[in-house]
């Protein structure tokens, strides 16, 4: 057992060394240290803040987060140390009066010397739109509350990628909490567990006050992979803990899926799943794009981890393969906005396609500046490409307010000295509104996307 542990540690050191070597060519400012648990030992005013001890036998449930799970349904996920704890959620629209109950499923996993708690996934609904629900998990424990998204515009997304669990992460989350948002979109790199499984638990505790109150829709980044050749497949912990509505959207993998909310079709792609024209993801994407009805969902938004349009030196060119395979599909379908992470800085493009400004292309936004322990990516390519509208290496978050079927307001908020400063903002007109998704184009779209 000891020899095995030493072998594994050596392997992990080797993998870490490779990662450090790859990322050592750019200079980042001093990162803030990883937070120590408990994050907030004093009682908080946040309704969903629970001062619990992770997986203590006396703690009935921890790491609660919620996600959209098909029309008018929400998946509640939580973890218990008790392997016999039931996967039930009681809920209702008045405090303490739970008129509905839902039974879910559970899973768990082992990772080297670590054994996870019991991970519960329970779908509740059908739910009313734009309504506060009070709920509790496992038949006991504290009452939490969530708000469902609205049925119609306006709706607001909070957006932040590459979160981690540092002082900067806490700063970003506190700023997001000041925003009246409906759904959080996270384009990859959540906990930065990087093989140390306890970090998944501490991340779950850190984000619970936010992720148990509003749906968090995530896709995977490289820090979720945790692949150990011949020993562990990639994304085992991520898939067990952050189950997204892939089955509900006809996908065979938790690494890519789609959902619809209040007039917006959102596609979450996987930068670390196969994406070539023979891959399952490619064919699923074609089929999903064909299903989009722009009269019902006039906005089309796509998220993935590795950006296609970035003028930062960090990770430059890493997204080229996926872009070559999939950008023609997104262009044909008339995707409005693409949100990515991975590069620890902020950048917003003009509407762009095939490397050039194009009024019928997507606005690409890189927002991998949530606050991770690796710090910021400061070095840019010069001259700034013509398609690059705004770029800055600071921690922060984005807010995307979909005002109506033709207009959205995007703003980026820098965590400047712990003051949330709105540093960049722009009105975005939908491609439906600008005539790029016309009937003539729809015929071409159908031909290209035909499965
Ligand atoms: Fe990344």
Asked if residue 113 and residue 178 are part of one domain, the reply reads no
**Domain end residue (candidates: 107, 127, 148):** 148
Instruction: Tell me the sheet residues that pair with 89.
Output: 102, 137
Asked if residue 271 and residue 325 are part of one domain, the reply reads yes
Asked if residue 243 and residue 191 are part of one domain, the reply reads yes
Asked if residue 225 and residue 166 are part of one domain, the reply reads yes
Identify the pLDDT of residue 449: 74
Rounded Cα distance between 445 and 291, Å, is 12
Asked if residue 344 and residue 231 are part of one domain, the reply reads yes
The DSSP secondary structure of 331-399, one letter per residue, reads HHHT--EEEE-SSSSEEEEEEEETTEE-TTSEEEEEE--S--TT-----B-SSPPTTEEEEE---EEEE
Q: For residue 102, report the distance from its CA to the centre of ligand 1, in Å.
A: 36
pTM of the model: 0.90
Parent domain of 354: 151-449
> pLDDT band at 143, cuts 50/70/90?
very high
Asked if residue 202 and residue 319 are part of one domain, the reply reads yes
135 pLDDT higher than 50: yes
> pLDDT band at 141, cuts 50/70/90?
confident
Identify the pLDDT of residue 332: 93
- Residue 23 within any structural domain of the chain: no
Asked if residue 250 and residue 357 are part of one domain, the reply reads yes
Cα angle, residue 266 at apex, residues 272 and 162 outer, rounded to 5°:
45
- Residue 49 within any structural domain of the chain: no
State percent of the chain over pLDDT 90: 77
13 pLDDT higher than 60: no
The answer for 383, left when phi > 0, alpha when psi is -120 to 50, beta otherwise, is: beta
Q: Given CA atoms 117, 80, 134, 213 in this order, what sign does their dihedral have?
A: negative
Query: Which of 96-110, 303-317, 405-419 is predicted least confidently?
Result: 405-419
Asked if residue 290 and residue 334 are part of one domain, the reply reads yes
Catalytic positions are 315
> pLDDT band at 33, cuts 50/70/90?
confident
Neighbours of 380 (CB within 10 A): 21
Identify the pLDDT of residue 203: 96
Asked if residue 103 and residue 202 are part of one domain, the reply reads no
- Residue 104 within any structural domain of the chain: yes
State how beta strands 388-392 and 362-367 pair: unpaired
Of the candidates 74, 70, 79, 65, the residue with the CA atom closest to the CA atom of residue 100: 74
**Domain end residue (candidates: 114, 148, 182):** 148
Give the tokens for residue 346. 């902020």
337 pLDDT higher than 50: yes
pLDDT per position as a tens digit, 247-277: 999 999 999 999 999 999 999 999 999 999 9
Q: For residue 307, report the distance from its CA to the centre of ligand 1, in Å.
A: 10
| CATH code, domain with 62 | 2.60.40.380
- Residue 309 within any structural domain of the chain: yes
Cα angle, residue 394 at apex, residues 257 and 352 outer, rounded to 5°:
50
- Residue 77 within any structural domain of the chain: yes
Strand, coil or helix: what is 193?
coil
- Residue 41 within any structural domain of the chain: no
Identify the pLDDT of residue 300: 98
- Counting the structural domains of the chain, the total is 2
**Domain end residue (candidates: 125, 148, 171):** 148
Backbone Cα Rg of the chain:
21
- Residue 18 within any structural domain of the chain: no
Asked if residue 186 and residue 101 are part of one domain, the reply reads no
Rounded Cα distance between 251 and 244, Å, is 10
| CATH code, domain with 209 | 3.60.21.10
More confident of the two residues 448 and 154: 154
Q: For residue 223, report the distance from its CA to the centre of ligand 1, in Å.
A: 6
Q: For residue 173, report the distance from its CA to the centre of ligand 1, in Å.
A: 19
Asked if residue 223 and residue 118 are part of one domain, the reply reads no
Measured N-to-C along each axis, helices 280-291 and 320-333 cross at an angle, to the nearest 10 degrees, of: 20
Asked if residue 325 and residue 185 are part of one domain, the reply reads yes
Identify the pLDDT of residue 292: 95
Mean pLDDT of 305-330: 97
């Amino acid at each position: 057992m000891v020899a095995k542990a030493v072998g594994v540690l050596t392997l992990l050191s080797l993998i870490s060394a490779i990662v450090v070597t790859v990322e050592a060519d750019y200079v980042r400012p001093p990162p803030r240290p990883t937070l120590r648990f408990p994050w907030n030992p004093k009682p908080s005013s946040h309704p969903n803040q629970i001062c619990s001890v992770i997986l203590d036998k006396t703690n009935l449930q921890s790491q609660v987060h919620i996600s959209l799970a098909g029309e008018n349904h929400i998946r509640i996920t939580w973890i218990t140390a008790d392997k016999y704890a039931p996967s039930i959620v009681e809920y209702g629209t008045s405090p303490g009066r739970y008129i509905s109950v839902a039974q879910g499923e559970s899973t768990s996993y082992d990772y080297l010397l670590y054994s996870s708690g019991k991970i519960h996934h329970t779908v509740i609904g059908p739910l009313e739109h734009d309504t506060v629900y009070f709920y509790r998990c496992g038949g006991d424990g504290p009452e939490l509350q969530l708000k469902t998204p609205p049925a119609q515009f306006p709706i607001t997304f909070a957006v932040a990628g590459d979160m981690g669990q540092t002082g900067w992460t806490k700063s970003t989350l506190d700023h997001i909490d000041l925003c009246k948002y409906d759904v959080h979109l996270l384009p990859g790199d959540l906990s930065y567990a990087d093989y140390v499984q306890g970090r998944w638990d501490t991340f779950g505790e850190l984000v619970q006050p936010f992720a148990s109150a509003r749906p968090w829709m995530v896709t995977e980044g490289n820090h979720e992979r945790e692949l150990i050749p011949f020993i562990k497949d990639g994304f085992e912990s991520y898939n067990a803990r952050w189950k997204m509505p892939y089955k509900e959207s006809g996908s065979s993998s938790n690494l890519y899926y789609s959902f619809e909310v209040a007039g917006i079709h959102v596609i979450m792609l996987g930068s670390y799943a196969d994406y070539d024209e023979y891959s399952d993801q490619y064919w699923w994407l074609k089929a999903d794009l064909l299903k989009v009805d722009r009269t019902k969902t006039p906005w089309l938004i796509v998220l993935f981890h590795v950006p296609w349009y970035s003028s930062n030196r960090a990770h430059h060119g890493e997204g080229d393969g996926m872009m070559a395979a999939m950008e023609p599909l997104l262009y044909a379908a008339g995707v409005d906005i693409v949100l990515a992470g991975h590069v620890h800085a902020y950048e917003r493009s003009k509407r762009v396609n095939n490397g050039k400004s194009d009024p019928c292309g997507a606005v690409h936004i890189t927002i991998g500046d949530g606050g991770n322990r690796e710090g910021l990516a400061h070095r840019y390519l010069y001259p700034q490409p013509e398609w690059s509208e705004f770029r800055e290496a600071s921690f922060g978050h984005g807010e995307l307010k979909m005002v109506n079927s033709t207009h959205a307001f995007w703003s980026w908020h820098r965590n400047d000295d712990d003051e949330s400063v709105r540093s960049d903002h722009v009105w975005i007109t939908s491609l439906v509104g600008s005539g790029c998704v016309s009937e003539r184009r729809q015929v071409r779209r159908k031909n290209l996307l035909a499965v």
